[in-house]
Every structure is written in C-alpha cells, then in structure tokens.
Amino acid sequence: MALLTFPPSPLNGDLYPTTPLPGQSQYQWSAADSVWRLEGVATGVVIGTYGDANNVGQFTVDAQGRLTSAANVPITFPTTLTFVTAPAASTDAGASGEVAVDGTYLYIYTGTQWERVAWNTTPW
C-alpha cells in the first residue's frame, strides 16, 4: 500500500489530491478537527450539467451506484419534412422526417416506427 504525503499547511476545505484519477480516493481538510476526511473515490465524471435543448445526458452507473461516465449526446433533428401517404400500421416502412395526415390522425415516423397523434378538433 502506498503512503500518502499530504500538504503541510492546508486551509479549511482544501482537497487532496486536487484532481484525483478515476479510482483514487480524495480527502478534504477540516480545520475545526485538524484532520483529513475521506470524501470518496473519484469516478472520472466531470462536474457539470448534462442535457439541454440540443443534447440528451447519457450516464453510466456502476454496481455501487456511482456515476462512472457522463456525456452529452446530440439530438438529431430532421432538416426537412416529407409528406407521404398515411401508414396502415406502426411497423410500416418509413424514413426519418416523414409525416402523414389522414383527416383523423397525424403520423410521424420516429426512425423506427410510426407514431399516431390524434387531432384536436377544438378550433383556435
């Protein structure tokens, strides 16, 4: 087991190591108790907010419930819509960006299947 060499004159709240490697323990100095307290093991996840109007947050959690990775995954929006004949079933072939209307429903192809949305018959 490796010995740790802590900074000689820490200030309250100092962290050691300041940037731990994934799997490495991090400690925080408590001036009130004159002791380094174990904060936990670093997972490598960067502090921040994940997900916004153009990205979905994607996370990996280990068996201990810790986040071990976090990333923003871009959402792909179709650049054009193509109107086609209404599908007979949700599993009918389609292409991203295709939409259809049959007087009762709006159909949107999601990339894997057709989604059917009922019209609101209440006038504006």
For residue 3, being part of any structural domain is answered with no
For residue 103, being part of any structural domain is answered with yes
User: Residue 86's domain spans which residues?
Assistant: 82-118
For residue 1, being part of any structural domain is answered with no
Q: How many domains does the chain have?
A: 3
For residue 30, being part of any structural domain is answered with yes
Question: Is residue 122 scored above 70 in pLDDT?
Answer: no
Q: Quickly count: other Cβ atoms within 10 Å of residue 103's Cβ.
A: 6
Q: Does residue 86 sit in the same domain as residue 110?
A: yes
Q: Could you check whether the bond before residue 17 is cis, i.e. omega within 30 degrees of 0?
A: yes
Joined tokens for residue 9: 């004159």
For residue 6, being part of any structural domain is answered with no
Mean pLDDT on 119-124: 65
Question: Is residue 72 scored above 60 in pLDDT?
Answer: yes
For residue 2, being part of any structural domain is answered with no
Q: What is the model's pTM?
A: 0.44
